[in-house]
Chain A
């Protein structure tokens, strides 16, 4: 954090911890509450009509409730805690949806706790995919359900991916069978500003709201590089070049800074009890303003190292922070810079050369970044790969070990658990096996870095949500009923 040049206000917000800026629960903040606080003079400060105060809007509230659970102890497994530890013959105790104890064979198991014999098995935190389009680009991939790219303007910061999520996407179930318990659902990369991301608990739900991760901050999907200029250049519009991309980013941030100033002025006046006219709420600028205030995390699709460096300078110019570069296939070239700036890089291990900006992809990208002390995330962007992020991480780990780096499983597991949790602003809630964290756990048949490993049981907030050996816990989407593939798990 020290290397960053924030405005004092932004530093203040960040110092509270990113997750303190929770924007999704819908509880605890009432519209107009801030505006109504402590009027100095007796000027009538009417709360703004519903829907007109962007800062008070926390999105449509989460209705997520964990599935039923009971206190459980997993005994005898090899545990990767994602805090850097591998515990052999370990014990994890779970109660009330939280992890209550973790340790070696001597760890006490409280009375009235169900015991799962996990000898020979491995336990990891639930897998977190920081780059998913499940629900917004669901299966089947037909145009009627192609809801991931609002490719009508290079700036669509006003759209929210959660409003496109189809919770019946069978891909959610497949991902869960691969151990995925939390997903960041992003808009696509057609636009410079694609819109807000949403973080979901990977539980079967009739509604998107029933999956929304309580307390998770929003992200803003940005895309540099080839996609925006291809999409809009192809329509004879700006951007059609890399410099057009950058001009588009800067214009939007200027507008956002101006909008932020107007709202800040308004609130200051209200605070002082002066008469004030509220600016008209603008959904697009609300989101960008949320970034400038440090409440919304920038999730920036960007392949090339040189373009990442330009994006970092844009962020400096306007005083915001880039949380993570996605598809950051060239991050290995600037590992030291990314470590200094505390920006994570989300990457695949094995995809390369499918477009010009991916030409320099190497399987050791993650390992070189790790060696440089930078934050590494292995992501999928793909409904197939998301089912085996453990293997993708294994490929990345192996590429490093081929160089003699000696990357342990205890380290590499962070790339698909603790690190994406951090980059999604939920690192205090999930992503590692520590007392107090959510009991999001995967019980693996064997070493999860093996090609032969299978997730046998998947727990979300302490509740069993998938069991490879019990058809009762193999949820199927409505779409799959009556179709050929039913029961694809057994």
Chain B
């Protein structure tokens, strides 16, 4: 009951916010446009939901609400490159998890239908400066290669793939992209943006047991999708050979084989990354790599193929036999080789706030600072086809902007103000309301009255 009360409170606050963006000028800020060099002290103007101006010598327009940043730092809103935000609420509660397909669908699973704009975790993410996220289905063959959390293994048990009967499907489903503006009933910015698939240990499980089967099955599925796309009429009449996937799954793969949308390939071991690159070249499809703990081993090959990588910069343990080569400088080495690197937070612990610190960790281990900032802003925007509107601070782009108290990659900084589409977002979340209730002085009544 408390929970629904709080949610209602958040929703009311959001609805009370102005629907139309005011003109806002933030002055006296260090501005990190990401697409260009930092402006040590300048002003940014947000107008009609867009960035109207930014620079050192900008005067606030007449009538603008002026915010003195007092030397704070302005960045684009952070983007989670691959998360389950809005599609999973409590990872250990099966009923709240809509980020995996189960057994009914494979590539056709569409996570855009799972998005819950009232998720209590949105406020928490936004409080950490996250303004948008790619929402991606869980791994096919869930559990393989993933770290088993020793004391609370519940997370692994509850993923949809593992909980379903029989073999997990080969493909995980289709990814979506959300922006996190409060009070909006539709957060989905784009859907069917990629189809996910796993190689390596997870992929092997999804393919019936070993690596040797998984690429064969994936290639076969792509071939079927091509045949299906060439002659749907024949398929409808039952005049084609039997395909390995259903009509729905084949339909989802058509834009992939046409090169319109990428395969998001979860992969870890260097040899499996090479297989992914060869698959992309042979099949003339686009791919994104996620995980890629041993990416540094094959960095030049990834760069040459022009394939972007989404990684967790904390991964430095041989937690499985496919991540034996994990290193803290993976991001730095990939970047040095010319690979576009996006950095992830933590998927199942509702800890997307960790993403910026993970970028800081990558910087501590050799990634140039500018690339570190890009890894949580412009790089994920580019990977997900959103960079024409968000991901950097440029005149004409959407005003998804965060004002930080200091270095956005630093532990001791926090997001002071968050703007999405030029609208200042509510600063509270379920977590801040809990905090404020128990930080409040004792009023002689139970905390439920605070």
Q: Which residues of A contact B (CB under 8 A)?
A: 131, 133, 136-137, 139-142, 146, 148, 170-171, 174, 188-189, 226-227, 230, 301, 327, 332-333, 335, 350-356, 358-364, 368, 371, 381-384, 387-388, 391, 394-395, 397-399, 401-403, 449-454, 479-480, 483-485, 488
Assess the B364–A362 pair: CB atoms within 8 A: no
Assess the A359–B150 pair: CB atoms within 8 A: no
Assess the B150–A139 pair: CB atoms within 8 A: no
Q: Tell me the complex Cα distance, A483–B120, Å.
A: 43
Assess the B150–A148 pair: CB atoms within 8 A: yes
Chain B residues, CB < 8 A from A174: 316-317
Interface residues of B in 315-347 (CB under 8 A from A): 315-321, 323-328, 346
Which of the residues B154, B350, B410, B435 comes within 8 Å of A230, measured between beta carbons? B154
Distance of B80 from chain A, by nearest CB (Å): 15
Q: Interface code B430-442, partner A: CB below 8 Å = 1, 0 otherwise?
A: 0110110011000
Assess the A483–B91 pair: CB atoms within 8 A: no
Show 6 residue pairs from A and B whose CB-CB distance is below 8 angstroms, ordered by the A residue.
A141-B147, A351-B350, A403-B435, A452-B410, A454-B364, A483-B324
**Interface residue B383 (Cβ < 8 Å from any Cβ of A):** no
Please list the 9 inter-chain residue pairs (A to B) with the smallest Cβ-Cβ separation, ordered nearest first.
A355-B92, A484-B325, A451-B360, A394-B411, A133-B150, A137-B150, A485-B325, A353-B350, A452-B364
Assess the B151–A364 pair: CB atoms within 8 A: no
Distance of A453 from chain B, by nearest CB (Å): 7
Distance of B97 from chain A, by nearest CB (Å): 11
Chain A residues, CB < 8 A from B317: 139, 170-171, 174, 383-384
Q: Tell me the complex Cα distance, A334–B326, Å.
A: 41
Which of the residues B120, B325, B412 comes within 8 Å of A450, measured between beta carbons? B412
Assess the B151–A362 pair: CB atoms within 8 A: no
Chain B residues, CB < 8 A from A452: 360, 363-364, 410
Assess the A351–B349 pair: CB atoms within 8 A: yes
Assess the B324–A356 pair: CB atoms within 8 A: no
Tell which of B51-59, B219-227, B244-252, B351-359 binds the partner. B351-359
**Interface residue B348 (Cβ < 8 Å from any Cβ of A):** yes
Closest partner residue, chain A, to B127 (CB atom): A363
Q: Interface code B103-124, partner A: CB below 8 Å = 1, 0 otherwise?
A: 0000000000000000011001
Chain B residues, CB < 8 A from A391: 357, 411
Given A364-B439, A451-B360, A484-B324, verify A355-B151 contact (CB < 8 Å).
no
Residues of B within 8 A of A (CB-CB), count: 58
Given A170-B318, A398-B411, A451-B411, verify A353-B435 contact (CB < 8 Å).
no
Assess the A384–B439 pair: CB atoms within 8 A: no
Closest partner residue, chain A, to B361 (CB atom): A451
Q: Tell me the complex Cα distance, A99–B148, Å.
A: 39
The total of interchain contacts (Cβ-Cβ below 8 angstroms) comes to 174
Distance of B7 from chain A, by nearest CB (Å): 13
Assess the B439–A368 pair: CB atoms within 8 A: yes
Closest partner residue, chain A, to B369 (CB atom): A452
Q: Tell me the complex Cα distance, A415–B120, Å.
A: 29
Chain B residues, CB < 8 A from A189: 151-152
Q: Tell me the complex Cα distance, A159–B414, Å.
A: 44
Interface residues of B in 413-450 (CB under 8 A from A): 413-414, 431-432, 434-435, 438-439, 447
Chain A residues, CB < 8 A from B277: none
Q: Tell me the complex Cα distance, A170–B90, Å.
A: 31
Chain B residues, CB < 8 A from A301: 151
Distance of B243 from chain A, by nearest CB (Å): 36
**Interface residue B297 (Cβ < 8 Å from any Cβ of A):** yes
Assess the B318–A480 pair: CB atoms within 8 A: yes
Q: Tell me the complex Cα distance, A395–B360, Å.
A: 13
Assess the B151–A363 pair: CB atoms within 8 A: no
Assess the A355–B297 pair: CB atoms within 8 A: no
Q: Tell me the complex Cα distance, A133–B149, Å.
A: 10
Given A384-B314, A488-B327, A488-B328, verify A140-B320 contact (CB < 8 Å).
yes
Interface residues of B in 278-310 (CB under 8 A from A): 294, 297
Q: Majority SS of interface residues in chain A?
A: loop
Most buried by B among A358, A359, A387: A359
Q: Tell me the complex Cα distance, A285–B381, Å.
A: 59
**Interface residue B155 (Cβ < 8 Å from any Cβ of A):** yes
Given A362-B434, A398-B412, verify A384-B147 contact (CB < 8 Å).
yes
Q: Tell me the complex Cα distance, A148–B326, Å.
A: 23
**Interface residue B64 (Cβ < 8 Å from any Cβ of A):** no
Q: Tell me the complex Cα distance, A398–B413, Å.
A: 8
Q: Tell me the complex Cα distance, A154–B410, Å.
A: 43
Which of the residues B318, B323, B348, B361 comes within 8 Å of A388, measured between beta carbons? B361
**Interface residue B409 (Cβ < 8 Å from any Cβ of A):** yes
Q: Tell me the complex Cα distance, A399–B324, Å.
A: 35
Assess the A355–B412 pair: CB atoms within 8 A: no
Assess the B349–A333 pair: CB atoms within 8 A: no
Assess the A368–B435 pair: CB atoms within 8 A: yes
Chain B residues, CB < 8 A from A142: 320-321
**Interface residue B8 (Cβ < 8 Å from any Cβ of A):** no
Most buried by B among A188, A189, A358, A368: A358
Chain B residues, CB < 8 A from A450: 410-412
Chain B residues, CB < 8 A from A401: 412
Closest partner residue, chain A, to B325 (CB atom): A484
Q: Tell me the complex Cα distance, A350–B356, Å.
A: 13
Q: Tell me the complex Cα distance, A67–B255, Å.
A: 61
Chain B residues, CB < 8 A from A361: 431
Assess the A381–B361 pair: CB atoms within 8 A: no
Closest partner residue, chain A, to B3 (CB atom): A359
Assess the B411–A352 pair: CB atoms within 8 A: no
Distance of A380 from chain B, by nearest CB (Å): 10
Which of the residues A381, A395, A398 comes within 8 Å of B150, measured between beta carbons? A381
Chain B residues, CB < 8 A from A136: 150
Most buried by A among B152, B321, B324: B152
Closest partner residue, chain B, to A359 (CB atom): B90
Assess the B318–A327 pair: CB atoms within 8 A: no
**Interface residue B213 (Cβ < 8 Å from any Cβ of A):** no
Q: Tell me the complex Cα distance, A359–B434, Å.
A: 11
Closest partner residue, chain A, to B147 (CB atom): A141
Assess the A140–B439 pair: CB atoms within 8 A: no
Distance of A206 from chain B, by nearest CB (Å): 20
Q: Tell me the complex Cα distance, A141–B314, Å.
A: 17
Distance of A400 from chain B, by nearest CB (Å): 9
**Interface residue B13 (Cβ < 8 Å from any Cβ of A):** no
Chain A residues, CB < 8 A from B432: 362
Chain A residues, CB < 8 A from B320: 140-142
Most buried by A among B364, B411, B431, B434: B411
Which of the residues A227, A351, A364 comes within 8 Å of B351, measured between beta carbons? A351
Closest partner residue, chain A, to B155 (CB atom): A354
Assess the B349–A354 pair: CB atoms within 8 A: yes
11 more CB-based (< 8 A) A-B contacts, given A327-B152, A350-B353, A353-B120: A140-B320, A140-B321, A141-B320, A332-B438, A352-B349, A355-B152, A368-B435, A382-B150, A387-B314, A453-B364, A483-B325
Closest partner residue, chain A, to B432 (CB atom): A362
Closest partner residue, chain B, to A305 (CB atom): B438
Q: Tell me the complex Cα distance, A317–B321, Å.
A: 48
Q: Tell me the complex Cα distance, A403–B297, Å.
A: 45
Closest partner residue, chain B, to A382 (CB atom): B149
Closest partner residue, chain B, to A134 (CB atom): B150
Which of the residues A327, A484, A488 comes within 8 Å of B270, measured between beta carbons? A484
Chain B residues, CB < 8 A from A397: 412
Which of the residues B121, B315, B318, B357 comes within 8 Å of A479, measured between beta carbons? B318
Assess the B354–A350 pair: CB atoms within 8 A: yes
**Interface residue B93 (Cβ < 8 Å from any Cβ of A):** yes
Q: Tell me the complex Cα distance, A333–B434, Å.
A: 9
Distance of A367 from chain B, by nearest CB (Å): 8
Interface residues of B in 197-226 (CB under 8 A from A): none
Q: Tell me the complex Cα distance, A358–B360, Å.
A: 27
